[in-house]
Amino acid sequence: MADERPKSGLISCLGYSDADAAVAWLCRAFGFREHAVYRDEAGNVVHAELVLGNGMIMLGPDQGGEFGKQVMTLPARAGGRCTQTIYAIVEDVDAHCARATAEGAEVVIAPRGESYGGRSYSVRDPEGHAWSFGTYDPWATSSKTGA
């Protein structure tokens, strides 16, 4: 039977200096599962697709090149700053934060209640990418703008 879970058409992509370590760490710390991992002849990750719930991210090694020069860079080369963050819906913010920090995630914003509903927290992974996790589900909340 086909998987009938809704899937997002938006997939965030990240570059890592050590894509192999990133895949393992993201699975351990945040609970991602490998959907597909492609490796070169030496066994190094060249492209990975990881899923969490019905969301997906793609990642690969930062190899410089045209994409790295024109489109994105690593947080370490941008003074630790990111131009976007990823938000993922989780059931238990405090347990998720404990799992992530046990694996070495750096807490940027500790778990807290949000004025618009839900509970959330934000961390940086070992290579400095910013992540936010929370119980607020915008798909389950009616729009206040009517859009």
DSSP output for 79-113 = TT--S--EEEE-S-HHHHHHHHHHTTPEEEEEEEE
DSSP tally for the chain: helices H, then strands E: 3, 8
128 by DSSP, 3-state: which? coil
pLDDT for 54 equals 87
pTM of the model: 0.81
Task: Give the pair of three-digit tokens for residue 49.
Answer: 């697709």
Give the model confidence (pLDDT) of 98-116 as tens digits.
Answer: 999 999 999 999 999 998 8
Superfamily of domain 12-134: 2,3-Dihydroxybiphenyl 1,2-Dioxygenase, domain 1 (3.10.180.10)
Amino acid at 86: I
Give the model confidence (pLDDT) of 45-79 as tens digits.
Answer: 999 999 999 899 999 898 766 666 677 788 888 88
Length of the chain: 147
